[in-house]
Amino acid sequence: MRNIKLTIEYDGKRYLGWQRLGDSEKTIQGKIESVLMQMTGEQIEIIGSGRTDGGTHARGQVANFKTTNTMETARMLDFMNHHLPRDIVIKKVEEAGERFHARYNATGKKYSYYIWNDPIPTALYRNYSFHYPQELDMEKMQTACEKLMGTHDFIGFSALKKSKKSTVRTLKELSIQQEGSMLHFTFVGDGFLYKMVRIIMGTLLDIGSGKLPLETIDELFEKKVRKAAGETVPAQGLFLDEVYYH
């Protein structure tokens, strides 16, 4: 039995997210499994490094699947990209060790979030950024980013109701780059809770626009209550850039 590792890029605009929902053709997992079954003649279930929400994009999602098919990886790559819709692309097909698991073996992830910060909206990037017309205090947002970095309990920045598992995560990088009206936020961490990046982004925007004080960050770590944080920003500005493994 072979264990095959896939690196995947996709535009999430017309999908309900990564996870297969019944027989829905509107999920990334569902589309890829359908092509893999056609390719191998086997019932295939792929394991993703994590679920992305509807509308979220990926430059480097990772998944794996098991097969007895003997097709070479280069031919698999060609077959999949020929049969998949053009908004899903397989960037790499590799043989993985028998025990490799895309989700359990992941040691960290990198995400990007894009804000179009201009009174005038953008036609070209509307599906790949969140239009936020209000003026933002970049200095305050930088300070908030510094407060968020490090090891903390991020339950207040999550849409989880309750969790038996630990909600402590380490945010190794949270940076902002500006190019004209586009703000690019980079998140690197050992793991992310449900909707954590989008809630942190909403909180940063509220701090930058003066709706929330900087102290909100400390209060959220202390009180661990979701309702004290900012809004959950829309999914279309979010990209899963990379998944890290040892």
Mean pLDDT of 179-186: 98
Topology classification of domain 107-245: Alpha-Beta Plaits (3.30.70)
pLDDT digits (tens, 9 = 90+) for 136-174: 999 999 999 999 999 999 999 999 987 789 999 999 999
CATH 3.30.70.660 range(s) for the chain read: 107-245
Distance CA 173, CA 244 (A): 14
Report CA 175 to chain centroid distance, whole Å.
16
How wide is the angle at C-alpha 106 spanned by C-alphas 39 and 192, nearest 5°? 115
pLDDT digits (tens, 9 = 90+) for 81-105: 999 999 999 999 999 999 999 999 9
Does the pLDDT at position 21 exceed 90?
A: no
Distance CA 46, CA 27 (A): 12
What integer pLDDT is reported at residue 163 of this predicted model?
Answer: 76
Q: Which of these, 182, 183, 89, 83, lies nearest to 142 by C-alpha position? A: 183
Could you tell me where the DSSP H helices lie in 115-195?
A: 138-148
The single residue listed with the structure tokens 């305050």 is 140
CATH 3.30.70.580 range(s) for the chain read: 2-96
Whether 78 is a known active-site residue: answer no
Which residue is catalytic, options 53, 137, 153, 218? 53
Distance CA 28, CA 40 (A): 18
Query: Taking the model in full, what pTM does it have?
Result: 0.95
- Residue 46 pLDDT level (bands cut at 50, 70, 90): very high
Distance CA 133, CA 55 (A): 21
CATH code of the domain made up of 2-96: 3.30.70.580
Q: What percent of the chain has pLDDT over 90?
A: 96
Could you report how far apart the first and last alpha carbons of the chain are, in Å? 23
